[in-house]
Amino acid sequence: MLSLMSLSLAVLTKKAIEASLKQKWDEAIKLNSEILKVYPNNIDAKIRLGRCYLQTKDFSKAKKLFKEVLKVDPINSIALKNLELLKNQKIELNGDSKLISAKSLLKEPGTTYEASVAVTAKEVKEEDFIPGEELTFKVKKNNIEIYKNKKSKKILLGTIKSDYMVQKVKCALDKKADVKITFIRWKEKEITVLIKSSIPVFKPDKVEIRPYLRRGTIEEPELEIETEDEEIE
């Protein structure tokens, strides 16, 4: 049987991504660590490993890896975002005793999807929201309605008009998965939300290709895992 070290980087990368999609964090940690033994400057493996440590609450190791990424690639948006979250692992929500975990803002391949919502409600403003705050939702035939609770009142913020999102959220709910929608940011009467499912239903994001990369930081391109869309009856 071939050892992990004898497998190609492409195969190890595919296995590491699949392990994360299945939330097998110990296996994903092992696979990404094996990649870094041979390719210590592989940015993608460091980011995946950092995410695994976040999931297992080993925050010091996660922080170290994201800092290493920024030394090589100072504009890496994923590392910057995760380091910012690590600075404030818990956020107090408007003086409420309820605490928001930074984990609620983390994007994971296959289980999270970022979407924009045009805010039509006049009674809410930017200061009413906290990053990581959970919003409520209703899945309709052609859209997803997003609500915010404010002073015991349920306010319709706006809708996500996407057949893809409706299909995927329905798919997750039909499979008894836990689906949550959290607030990320506000910009000019539009909010960005993170839709998170407890099981993989979304297509993983494609690898971002940026114009600034130092030579030798990425040995091989990240593999994209194809997932089949499931039809909703």
- Residues 115-151: b if buried by 16+ CB within 10 A, e if exposed: bebebebeebeeeebebbbbbebebeeebbebbbeee
pLDDT higher than 70, residue 66: yes
pLDDT higher than 80, residue 205: no
Would you state the pLDDT for residue 33? 94
Would you state the pLDDT for residue 212? 39
Find where tokens 């940026």 sit: 210
Would you state the pLDDT for residue 65? 93
Query: Mean pLDDT, to the nearest integer, of 168-174?
Result: 94
Would you state the pLDDT for residue 104? 64
Q: Which of 51-55, 110-114, 203-207 has the lowest mean pLDDT?
A: 203-207
pLDDT higher than 90, residue 108: no
Residue 118 pLDDT grade (very low, low, confident, very high; cuts 50, 70, 90) = very high
Query: Mean pLDDT, to the nearest integer, of 5-23?
Result: 81
Residues contacting residue 149 through CB under 8 Å, at least 6 positions apart: 136, 155
Query: Mean pLDDT, to the nearest integer, of 160-183?
Result: 93
Would you state the pLDDT for residue 193? 93
Domain ranges of the chain: 1-107+205-233, 111-197
* Dihedral, 162, 168, 174, 179 alpha carbons, nearest 10: -90
Would you state the pLDDT for residue 89? 57
Residue 227 pLDDT grade (very low, low, confident, very high; cuts 50, 70, 90) = very low
- The average confidence (pLDDT) of the chain is 79
pLDDT higher than 80, residue 7: no
CATH for 1-107+205-233, among 1.25.40.10, 3.40.710.10, 3.40.640.10, 3.40.50.1370?
1.25.40.10
Would you state the pLDDT for residue 9? 84
Query: Mean pLDDT, to the nearest integer, of 33-43?
Result: 91
Rounded to 10°, the helix 59-72/43-55 angle is: 160
Would you state the pLDDT for residue 99? 47
Rounded to 10°, the helix 77-87/59-72 angle is: 140
